A and B are shown apart, each in its own frame.
Chain A
């Protein structure tokens, strides 16, 4: 089955700890994205990557970091510098640079205790 997988589905973290969210796709898509979703605010872009070994900040990158060492993988690290990390995190991918439609993974719910 082709698709985007995110793990874990639920994640709990103590304040002050870094945590890494996994995103993997086997669709052979070039571009990948991380969004954050909070109630009543829609989706906001954290980071994106158009090709391997390259990524750019989105609208709310502070307190987050990413890497893109392989085409199929785009992990997101939520650092202790992120002041309000509790949210639903969504990873998405896009076929190629001139294709606008993005496809989403199932999401990871992060809760900071």
Chain B
């Protein structure tokens, strides 16, 4: 069983829809959670990060973490064709509040391919 599981999609939605992207994980030591967006043949770019359970909002994007269920989500409101990309969740065992240093090993989900059509 992989440490992080992510629905691979592909996911196709009409413009303006609300999109929900999800990852589950098995390692309860994961404390720091990130979402990256990757356009075709480009490097991933950081969208959001969080280290606490609950919601974090940034414009049309909301990251949700439920540590008790080992489940994280990214919601995109009013989706646009420019949101069409692969979305990767990533997580690590040591966050900035845990003290010490980390070599920064991120464990990634497989990525979800999203297409928003006009």
Residue of B49, B100, B110 touching A42 (CB-CB under 8 A):
B110
Count, chain B residues at interface, CB 8 A: 30
Q: A11-19, A65-73, A79-87, A103-111: which one contacts chain B? A: A103-111
How far is it, in angstroms, between the C-alpha of A84 and the C-alpha of B61 when the chains are bound?
37
A50 within 8 A of B: yes
Size bracket of the A interface: 20 to 34
Encode contact with A along B82-109: 1 for CB under 8 Å, 0 otherwise: 0000001010101110001111111011
Is the contact region of chain B dominated by helix, strand, or loop, or is it mixed?
A: loop
* Selected contact of A45 from candidates B41, B46, B96, B105, CB within 8 Å: B105
Chain A 28-54 per-residue mask, 1 if CB under 8 angstroms from chain B, else 0 = 000101000000111111001010000
A90 touches B (CB below 8 Å): yes
Interface centre among A50, A104, A106, A109 (most CB of B within 10 A): A104
Residues in A with CB closer than 8 Å to B108 are: 42-44
In the bound complex, residues from chain B placing their C-beta under 8 Å from that of A102 are 46, 104, 106
Query: Which of B4, B6, B43, B102 meets A97, CB within 8 Å?
Result: B102
Q: How far is the CA of A33 from the CA of B65 in the complex (A)?
A: 26
Q: What chain A residues lie within 8 Å of B101 (beta carbons)? A: 50, 97-98
Give the top 4 A-B pairs by smallest Cβ distance, nearest first. A104-B43, A97-B101, A42-B108, A43-B108
Binding site for A on B (CB under 8 A): 4, 6, 8, 32, 34, 36, 41-46, 49, 88, 90, 92, 94-96, 100-106, 108-111
